[in-house]
Amino acid sequence: MITGSKLDALRRSVVVNINGDLLDKARALDINLSETLEQTLIEIFGQNRRKQWQEENRQAMNAYTDHVGIHGVFSDGLRDF
């Protein structure tokens, strides 16, 4: 499933230059290059979104970590393990 993209977006042709040995191996394995590229781009976009979210929220996460370090969490007195 394509996340963050329009599922009905028009496909466009592009010229891509890749290592010839990799191309031969991909063809031998019947790998769909367009699908593989799309899936890889989706993964890269997801990684970038996660990294951006972490950077945007780093201060809040650090503040929470400091708070828990000082005060603990609400369930500290409830655990039996």
70: buried, middle or exposed (CB in 10 Å: 19+, 13-18, 0-12)? exposed
Alpha helices (H) in 1-81, listed in sequence order:
20-28, 33-71
Q: Could you tell me if 3 and 46 are in contact, meaning their C-beta atoms sit under 8 angstroms apart?
A: yes
pTM over 0.75: no
pLDDT string in tens for the chain (81-residue length): 555 667 778 889 999 999 999 999 999 999 999 999 999 999 999 999 999 999 999 999 999 999 999 998 888 878 776
Tell me how long the chain is. Answer: 81
3-class DSSP assignment, residue 62? helix
